[in-house]
Amino acid sequence: MRRKFVSLTLALMFVVLAGLTACQAAPTTPPSPTPTPRTGTIVLAPAQGKAAAALTVSGTGFLSDEKVRVEIGFDQYTRVALAKAETGGVVVADKDGKFALKSFIPMTGAAPGVYTVEATGDKGTKATASLEITK
């Protein structure tokens, strides 16, 4: 009986070791590094104003021909694109990574306060600026 137990134990150890060796021998692919997001810059002119007032958003530091969506977030549910619908709601950066967007301060959700304007490029560049809406 003891001999049978030793034989079963050795057989079990062999199976476990063979399984561990097979797992260790499998080639692994190292994880690809997460790209560092690019940071651009946007400047609002003016940086404060009433709803419906003219607003220019100038951007730099974007990639050449990057499509940039410029939005103002009034709350976690309401975001308004500042580019015209005819352009798909985006503006395209030039070969130097710059853009100028002429728009208006939206009236939707425009209670007085400070809001964040976000510019997000389709190639990963992001920028933010604050806009104060006054009475």
Mean pLDDT for all residues in the chain: 84
pLDDT in tens, 58-84: 999 999 999 999 999 988 888 899 998
User: Which tens digit of pLDDT belongs to each residue from 10-45?
Assistant: 454 555 555 544 445 555 677 766 667 899 999 999
Task: Determine which helix (DSSP H) or strand (DSSP E) holds 115, and give its type and residue range.
Answer: strand 113-121
Domains and CATH numbers, the chain: 38-134 (2.60.40.3880)
Q: What local confidence, expressed as pLDDT, does residue 108 receive?
A: 74
Q: How far apart are CA 40 and CA 111, in angstroms?
A: 28
Report whether the peptide linkage leading into residue 46 is cis, meaning its omega lies within 30 degrees of zero: yes
